[in-house]
């Protein structure tokens, strides 16, 4: 019985391979977009964990300076002499090689804290002697080929973009004297005095949590990606839902016959569930493979984005992770269950004597429109509550999701209302039939149109956000990058020689010093700047300020903080803040796009008093634009500055904008993919609905409308529905943009952007969606145009 029943059910797909392809493609595409994003996230998180495990050490306590800053060699020696088992670490970055350096002392650090050491592959005597060696991941070694650095030893397990070196080698490479922190490698010897007595400015800290700061900083980026992946998956599920519903409805007479011939209801539902499960497994596997391809294409851009935005190193290639494969197939099965549950339930409840009406599903859809309307109102209510009653990123995404769902659910009703208004303009029987028929088609096409609405709204929303960001960011860069040249000296001696040489040749030299130090209780950075300079006064973009802000900062009476810090802790002008033990007042707040860390700007004199060990190695140089080339030549030839240590304003802008563009390459790609999926949804819906249109079209044909005219009207109908959907998607997209800019961005990144509108982009998108709809409708229209009259006559010959 089961074999016979299954063969009857499966024979449907043999006779309708295109419909099967639609279902498999829809599910595979949805799974691909979701699992592709998950693959990227998993790869990035694995890289963070790897990096955090290396940088945080093997769960060892650390000793660090309480107020931030480095630990002097003398302090380390004092601790060792007092019986404290501590091992020093130097951390820094070689900007010209884009390489993080981690200097360790292999004699005092436990072997399991050194990568590769447990299998004896890490290093030999060359690590400690001569020019030293650096331990790097194979891919980093590849990237550093030919670089002017100590010999490289390749070791698996080191995060990309990071190098291990002996502490002496690291000190020489970074030009640093102090240590970033000390690992506590064992208990202090008996009688050792407590830490506060030996070095009161140092404090002992627990091991850093796995995942580390980088993972925390990048969480919002990954949450954004996940949200987009979920949206794409939802759009894909609309196709699956439509294809399953259609396949079930087309087979309704078969189900009735099977029941009449003695197949029990539970067995029928069970067989259909098995059929769906098999389809989900096959499509899921295909989707995971496609997702792999998508992720492989996108991950270099994601890696560049994460490096540019957060300094987080992520491997540019993908690893095969069984958990990812399983979760991809799992989400395909779950999605199919979700998409097919209503159809299965309807089949289970189908009375055996229910008339097997073709397009009963469409009528049922029309009946369900009001229920959908109620759902839309409920979702809008959830969005309002999330928007007004709750704060936080999760509330932001609930607002986003509920608003989109409300719009999608309201679409059929809105389209029906729009078509009802338009139908009043109908003159003559042909137009009247066209409008009435179009309204009748809406329930059947509503799932595909909902998918289109979501894709278009996402395009408008994300496009508006990106373009607003681009416009604001470009203006902000123009303001903030006021110096014509930026240069970095290798050593304090070279910095001194540089400033001496530049003095008579430039309008102004602006030292830029910075130190990592906690701000309002979390890791942050403090910059020392020449606040008296008109360069800052004229160019630094302030979004809130107290009177005489720059004079007070220059006099060391107050500080500026970035928007992120101001929003997070409510530190607006007039608020108090403590920096490295110095209580002061916030005098202004500046925009600081793209920086995930809290930041404060301090007048140079005050900065030097607070951080006496900090050395000025970075400088902004004000010079007439036509003199920059000569100045660069002079600095390299006469002072010995490396060419790659000098950047001109234009190249920094280009570099920053490059990072920016790559940041949104991923969202742009997902945007295009989502729109393509929506186009596919329309195509498949039209093709499948076309097969059931004969009884509706044949009478009109018999009454005198040619097949060519009918085909043209079908084409026009698809374009019209897409146009109406676009009109409705536009406000939804703008709402989405507002939520992204005013809620999600502020919660995720800490800064707010002004929203700009770009009507030309909308026009282009409208054109694209109309072309997609016309292309999708073309094949069914051509089929109708070529349909033999005999087939249309079958409608009258036999009851269908």
Partner 1 sequence: MLLEIENVTKSYPSADGPVPVLRGVSLSLAAGETLALTGDSGSGKSTLLHLAGGLDAPDGGRVLIEGEDIAHYDDRRRARLRRETVSVIFQQFNLIPSLDVGANIAFQARLAGRHDPAWARDLAERLGLAAHLSKYPEQLSGGQQQRVAIGRTLAARPRLVLADEPTGNLDEGTGAEVAAVMRDLVTATGAGLLVVTHSRSLADRMGRRMELRGGRAL
Interacting residues with partner 1 (CB under 8 A): 1, 3-5, 7-8, 11-12, 14-16, 253-254, 256-267, 352-353, 356, 798-799
Q: Which is nearer to partner 1, 273 or 356 (by Cβ)?
A: 356
CB of 248 to partner 1, least distance (A): 14
CB of 427 to partner 1, least distance (A): 37
Q: Which is nearer to partner 1, 505 or 783 (by Cβ)?
A: 783
**CB within 8 A of 532, min separation 6: which ones?**
550, 554, 603
What is the rounded CA–CA span in Å between residue 136 and residue 116? 11
Q: Which is nearer to partner 1, 356 or 384 (by Cβ)?
A: 356
CB of 12 to partner 1, least distance (A): 5
**CB within 8 A of 496, min separation 6: which ones?**
none
With beta carbons less than 8 A apart as the criterion, state whether 329 and 285 touch. yes
CB of 17 to partner 1, least distance (A): 11
CB of 262 to partner 1, least distance (A): 3
With beta carbons less than 8 A apart as the criterion, state whether 35 and 327 touch. yes
What is the rounded CA–CA span in Å between residue 403 and residue 384? 9
Q: Which is nearer to partner 1, 13 or 738 (by Cβ)?
A: 13
Q: Which is nearer to partner 1, 276 or 399 (by Cβ)?
A: 276
What is the rounded CA–CA span in Å between residue 197 and residue 186? 19
CB of 250 to partner 1, least distance (A): 9
Give the sign of the dihedral formed by CA 724, CA 727, CA 733, CA 735.
negative
CB of 789 to partner 1, least distance (A): 17
What is the rounded CA–CA span in Å between residue 544 and residue 563? 9
Give the sign of the dihedral formed by CA 124, CA 128, CA 130, CA 131.
positive
CB of 267 to partner 1, least distance (A): 8
What is the rounded CA–CA span in Å between residue 583 and residue 268? 75
- Strand, helix or coil at 411? helix
What is the rounded CA–CA span in Å between residue 204 and residue 61? 7
Q: Which is nearer to partner 1, 96 or 800 (by Cβ)?
A: 800
What is the rounded CA–CA span in Å between residue 467 and residue 461? 10
What is the rounded CA–CA span in Å between residue 697 and residue 702? 9
With beta carbons less than 8 A apart as the criterion, state whether 392 and 408 touch. no
CB of 799 to partner 1, least distance (A): 7
CB of 360 to partner 1, least distance (A): 15
Q: Which is nearer to partner 1, 7 or 706 (by Cβ)?
A: 7
CA-atom Rg of the chain in angstroms:
33
CB of 15 to partner 1, least distance (A): 4
What is the rounded CA–CA span in Å between residue 105 and residue 127? 11
In degrees rounded to 5, what are phi and psi of residue 517?
-155, 150
CB of 11 to partner 1, least distance (A): 4
Q: Which is nearer to partner 1, 356 or 705 (by Cβ)?
A: 356
Which candidate, 322, 301, 273, places its Cα nearest to that of 35?
Answer: 322
What is the rounded CA–CA span in Å between residue 488 and residue 501? 14
- Strand, helix or coil at 392? coil
With beta carbons less than 8 A apart as the criterion, state whether 537 and 545 touch. no
CB of 364 to partner 1, least distance (A): 19
Q: Is 78 exposed, middle or buried (0-12, 13-18, 19+ CB in 10 A)?
A: middle
Judging by DSSP bridges, how do beta strands 558-562 and 522-529 pair with one another?
unpaired
CB of 731 to partner 1, least distance (A): 41
Name the strands in the sheet holding 86-94, side by side, starting at the edge strand that comes first in the sequence. 152-154, 134-136, 162-166, 99-104, 86-94, 181-184, 62-65, 202-205
Q: Which is nearer to partner 1, 257 or 440 (by Cβ)?
A: 257
Q: Which is nearer to partner 1, 265 or 712 (by Cβ)?
A: 265
Q: H-helix or E-strand containing 670? A: helix 665-690
What is the rounded CA–CA span in Å between residue 746 and residue 116? 42
Q: Which is nearer to partner 1, 272 or 462 (by Cβ)?
A: 272
Q: Which is nearer to partner 1, 356 or 512 (by Cβ)?
A: 356
With beta carbons less than 8 A apart as the criterion, state whether 229 and 287 touch. no
Q: Which is nearer to partner 1, 265 or 653 (by Cβ)?
A: 265
Q: Which is nearer to partner 1, 14 or 145 (by Cβ)?
A: 14
Which candidate, 511, 601, 515, places its Cα nearest to that of 563?
Answer: 601
- Strand, helix or coil at 485? strand
CB of 254 to partner 1, least distance (A): 5
With beta carbons less than 8 A apart as the criterion, state whether 589 and 573 touch. yes
Q: Which is nearer to partner 1, 11 or 491 (by Cβ)?
A: 11
CB of 43 to partner 1, least distance (A): 44
With beta carbons less than 8 A apart as the criterion, state whether 184 and 62 touch. yes
What is the rounded CA–CA span in Å between residue 201 and residue 66? 6
Q: How many CB atoms lie within 10 A of CB 663?
A: 21
Q: Which is nearer to partner 1, 645 or 787 (by Cβ)?
A: 787
What is the rounded CA–CA span in Å between residue 185 and residue 200? 20
83, two tokens: 């019986």
């Amino acid at each position: 019985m089961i074999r016979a029943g299954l063969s009857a059910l499966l024979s449907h797909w043999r006779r309708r391979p295109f419909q099967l392809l639609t279902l498999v493609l829809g599910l595979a595409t949805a799974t691909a977009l979701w699992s592709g994003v998950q693959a990227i996230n998993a790869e990035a998180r694995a890289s963070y964990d790897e990096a955090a495990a290396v940088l945080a050490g093997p769960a060892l306590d650390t000793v660090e300076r309480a107020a931030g800053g480095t630990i002097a060699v003398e302090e380390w020696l004092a601790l060792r002499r007092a019986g404290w088992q501590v091992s020093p670490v130097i951390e820094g970055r070689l900007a010209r090689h884009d390489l993080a350096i981690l200097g360790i002392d292999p004699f005092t650090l436990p072997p399991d804290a050194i990568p590769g050491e447990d299998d004896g592959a890490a290093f030999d005597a060359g690590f400690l002697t001569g020019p030293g060696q650096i331990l790097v991941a194979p891919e980093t070694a590849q990237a550093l080929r030919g670089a002017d650095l100590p010999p490289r030893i390749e070791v698996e397990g080191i995060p990309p973009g990071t190098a291990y070196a002996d502490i002496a080698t690291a000190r020489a490479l970074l030009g640093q004297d102090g240590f970033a922190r000390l690992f506590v490698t064992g208990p202090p010897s008996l009688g050792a005095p407590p830490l506060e007595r030996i070095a009161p400015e140092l404090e002992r800290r627990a091991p850093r949590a796995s995942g580390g700061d980088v993972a925390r900083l990048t969480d919002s980026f990954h949450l954004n990606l996940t949200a987009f992946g979920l949206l794409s998956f939802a759009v894909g599920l609309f196709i699956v839902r439509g294809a399953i519903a259609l396949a079930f409805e087309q087979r309704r007479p078969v189900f009735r016959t099977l029941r009449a011939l003695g197949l029990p209801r539970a067995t029928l539902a069970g067989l259909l569930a098995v059929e769906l499960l098999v389809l989900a497994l096959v499509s899921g596997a295909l989707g995971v493979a496609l997702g792999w391809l998508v992720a492989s294409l996108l991950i270099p851009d994601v890696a560049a984005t994460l490096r540019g935005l957060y300094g987080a190193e992520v491997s540019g290639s993908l690893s095969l992770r069984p958990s990812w494969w399983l979760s991809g197939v799992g989400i395909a099965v779950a999605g199919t269950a979700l998409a097919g549950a209503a159809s299965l339930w309807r089949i289970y409840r189908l009375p055996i004597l229910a008339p097997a009406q073709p397009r009963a599903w469409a009528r049922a859809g029309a009946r369900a429109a009001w229920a959908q309307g109620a759902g839309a109102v409920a979702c809008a209510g959830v969005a309002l509550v999330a928007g007004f009653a709750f704060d936080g990123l999760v509330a932001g995404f609930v607002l986003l999701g509920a608003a989109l769902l409300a719009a999608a659910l309201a679409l059929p009703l809105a389209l029906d209302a729009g078509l009802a208004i338009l139908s009043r303009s109908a003159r003559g029987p042909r137009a009247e039939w066209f409008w009435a028929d179009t309204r009748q088609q809406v329930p059947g096409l509503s799932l595909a149109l909902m998918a289109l609405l979501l894709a278009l709204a996402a395009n408008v929303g994300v496009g508006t956000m990106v373009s607003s960001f681009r416009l604001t960011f470009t203006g902000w860069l123009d303001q903030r990058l006021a110096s014509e040249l930026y240069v970095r000296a290798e050593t304090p001696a070279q910095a001194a020689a540089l400033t001496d040489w530049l003095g008579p040749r430039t309008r102004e030299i602006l030292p830029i010093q910075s130190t990592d130090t906690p701000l309002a209780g979390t890791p942050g950075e403090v910059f020392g700047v020449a606040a008296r300079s008109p360069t800052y006064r004229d160019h630094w973009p302030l979004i809130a300020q107290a009177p005489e802000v720059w004079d007070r900062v220059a006099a060391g009476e107050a500080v500026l903080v970035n928007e992120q810090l101001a929003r997070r802790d409510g530190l607006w002008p007039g608020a108090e803040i403590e920096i490295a033990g110095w209580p002061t007042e916030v005098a202004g707040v500046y925009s600081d796009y793209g920086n995930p860390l809290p930041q404060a700007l301090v007048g140079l004199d005050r900065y030097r008093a607070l951080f006496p060990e900090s050395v000025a190695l970075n400088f902004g140089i004000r010079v007439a634009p036509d003199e920059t080339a000569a100045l660069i030549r002079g600095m390299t030839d006469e002072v010995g500055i490396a060419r790659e240590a000098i950047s001109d304003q234009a190249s920094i802008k280009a570099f920053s904008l490059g990072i920016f563009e790559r940041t949104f390459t991923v969202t742009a790609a997902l945007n295009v993919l989502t729109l393509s999926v929506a186009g596919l949804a329309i195509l498949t819906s039209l093709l499948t609905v076309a097969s059931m249109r004969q009884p509706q079209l044949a009478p009109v044909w018999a009454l005198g409308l040619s097949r060519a005219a009918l085909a043209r009207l079908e084409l026009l109908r698809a374009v019209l529905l897409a146009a109406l959907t676009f009109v409705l998607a536009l406000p939804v997209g703008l709402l989405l943009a507002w939520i992204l800019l005013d809620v999600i961005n502020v919660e995720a990144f800490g800064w707010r952007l002004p929203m700009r509108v770009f009507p030309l982009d909308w026009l282009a998108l409208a054109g694209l969606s109309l072309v997609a709809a016309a292309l999708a409708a073309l094949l069914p229209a051509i089929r109708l145009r070529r349909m033999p009259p005999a087939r249309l006559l079958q409608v009258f010959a036999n009851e269908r």
